[in-house]
Amino acid sequence: MKKFLVLLLALVMVLSAVGCSSSSDAPAADTEKTVEKTEEMPKIGVTIYKYDDNFMSFVRRAITNSAEGKAEVLMNDSQNTQAVQNDQVDMMIAKGVKSLAINLVDPQAASSIIAKAKEADLPVVFFNKEPTLEDLNSYDRAWYVGTASKEAGIIQGEMIAEMWKANPEWDTNGDGVLSYVLLKGEPGHPDAEARTKFAVSSIVDAGIKVEELELQTGMWDSVKAKELMDAWLAKHGDNIEFVIANNDGMALGALQSLKANGYFAGDKFMPLVGVDAIPDVLEQIKEGTIVGTVLNDAANQGKATLELANNVARGNDPLEGTEWKLVDKAVRVPYVGVTIDNIEFAEKAYQ
């Protein structure tokens, strides 16, 4: 009987040891997987200045697509309000992001975002809305992804000049002067200021005389642009010979107004150009209602932003494993002029 009890006790102890071993091994395996996942998929906090901006919707999609299998993205709509964006940055820091990717509402707010990133010891990649070089240089872990602001204006102006010379019938009063209205983006925005200045100066540099009938801000917005175009047509009518828009959203708003006022029906025509080469405008170029735009490469802006933010989140060099180059702490994604002649190239940017 004693032998039986001894054997029974030994069996219980063995089973108990096996049970303890199994339960202690499981959490260890889970912990190991969690650590590995965190290392492979860092959290990146991203803000978009407002989701309903046509162009930025494509940049946002490119960031999300580029992050698949590489990083966890916390995406935020800042609703075109800097105070909202500031709060979102605080929230993302509290959630343990490893880097920030910020499309500023107000470029002048870069210093306050940098202060938050510094305090949290986080790298920050600004994109699309450019901080000053002084702001970027104030923090060794701050970079920018975007375009050279004046390039879009130069390309747009050269495109307009070439088309104007090739289509003498566009000079409806035959005075040899290009009479234009210009829809400007947000005042003070580097892209708006540069596109406006260099579009016009490039036309003049091509030897064409110009007359500015109107220049007002449409704030990048199609509804505001339509309202302005309605007012300009009521005031100037057919004296307007060209519509220049700082972005495609405003170009589409102007197009709505022109169509409502009888243009593009019969022989009534108005040349109109934008910037961004969004799909809706590419369709209008095919239809002949918009004559040109400038490809602002949303796919590569989003891709470059994610790649830099992912690299620095892991503690790597910003450019590790990428095709990009940094000049003055900025990656510049080039613009390309788009007309009916190279429409296929622009369409591929959205595939």
In this structure, the answer to whether residues 55 and 134 fall within a common structural domain is: yes
d(CA 60, CA 66): 10
Sign of the CA dihedral running 100, 248, 245, 203: positive
In this structure, the answer to whether residues 250 and 328 fall within a common structural domain is: no
In this structure, the answer to whether residues 54 and 94 fall within a common structural domain is: yes
| 349 inside domain | no
351 close to 167: Cβ distance less than 8 angstroms: no
pLDDT of 9 higher than 60: no
In this structure, the answer to whether residues 154 and 290 fall within a common structural domain is: yes
End-to-end Cα separation, the chain, in angstroms: 81
| 20 inside domain | no
pLDDT of 24 higher than 60: no
Categorize the per-residue pLDDT at 348 as very low, low, confident or very high, splitting at 50, 70 and 90: confident
pLDDT of 184 higher than 90: yes
Over the stretch 238-282, which tens digit does the pLDDT of each residue have?
999 999 999 999 999 999 999 999 999 988 999 999 999 999 999
In this structure, the answer to whether residues 85 and 182 fall within a common structural domain is: no
| 9 inside domain | no
In this structure, the answer to whether residues 246 and 281 fall within a common structural domain is: yes
Number of structural domains found in the chain: 2
Residue 82 three-state SS = helix
In this structure, the answer to whether residues 205 and 234 fall within a common structural domain is: yes
Over the stretch 141-175, which tens digit does the pLDDT of each residue have?
999 999 998 999 999 999 999 999 999 999 999 99
Determine the average pLDDT of the residues in 9-28.
35
For residue 161, the enclosing domain spans 150-295
- Average pLDDT, whole number, for the chain? 90
Share of the chain above pLDDT 70, in %: 89
Q: Which two tokens stand for residue 245?
A: 């828009």
42 close to 72: Cβ distance less than 8 angstroms: yes
In this structure, the answer to whether residues 85 and 138 fall within a common structural domain is: yes
| 166 inside domain | yes
Which residue type occupies 286? K
Categorize the per-residue pLDDT at 349 as very low, low, confident or very high, splitting at 50, 70 and 90: confident
| 329 inside domain | yes
Strands (E), the chain: 43-48, 72-77, 99-102, 124-127, 142-146, 177-184, 209-217, 242-245, 272-273, 293-295, 330-332, 336-338
| 123 inside domain | yes
pLDDT of 331 higher than 80: yes
pLDDT at 40: 73
Cα radius of gyration (the chain): 28
Over the stretch 204-236, which tens digit does the pLDDT of each residue have?
999 999 999 999 999 999 999 999 999 999 999
pLDDT at 7: 39
The separation between CA 117 and the C-alpha centre of its own chain, rounded to angstroms, equals 21
Determine the average pLDDT of the residues in 343-350.
89
In this structure, the answer to whether residues 73 and 155 fall within a common structural domain is: no
- The string of DSSP codes covering 15-48 is HHHHHHHHHHHHHHHHHHHHHHHHHHS-EEEEEE
* Residue 209 vs residue 23, higher pLDDT: 209
Edge-to-edge, what's the strand order for the sheet holding 124-127? Answer: 72-77, 43-48, 99-102, 124-127, 142-146, 330-332
- The string of DSSP codes covering 197-242 is HHHHHHHHHTT-EEEEEEEEE-TT-HHHHHHHHHHHHHHHGGG--E
Residue 178 three-state SS = strand
| 220 inside domain | yes
Over the stretch 48-93, which tens digit does the pLDDT of each residue have?
999 999 899 999 999 999 999 999 999 999 999 999 999 999 999 9
Over the stretch 99-120, which tens digit does the pLDDT of each residue have?
999 999 999 999 999 999 999 9
| 55 inside domain | yes
Q: Which two tokens stand for residue 278?
A: 């969004």
pLDDT of 8 higher than 90: no
Q: How many helices (H) and strands (E) does the chain have?
A: 12, 12
Q: Which two tokens stand for residue 266?
A: 């019969």
Categorize the per-residue pLDDT at 39 as very low, low, confident or very high, splitting at 50, 70 and 90: low
Residue 288 three-state SS = coil
Q: Which two tokens stand for residue 236?
A: 């100037």
pLDDT at 284: 98
Q: Which two tokens stand for residue 297?
A: 């490469």
Distances (CA, A) of 75 to 81, 301, 329: 16, 16, 24
pLDDT at 35: 28
244 close to 238: Cβ distance less than 8 angstroms: no
In this structure, the answer to whether residues 206 and 301 fall within a common structural domain is: no
pLDDT of 351 higher than 60: yes
The separation between CA 230 and the C-alpha centre of its own chain, rounded to angstroms, equals 29
In this structure, the answer to whether residues 116 and 233 fall within a common structural domain is: no
What CATH number did the domain enclosing 68 receive? Answer: 3.40.50.2300
In this structure, the answer to whether residues 312 and 260 fall within a common structural domain is: no
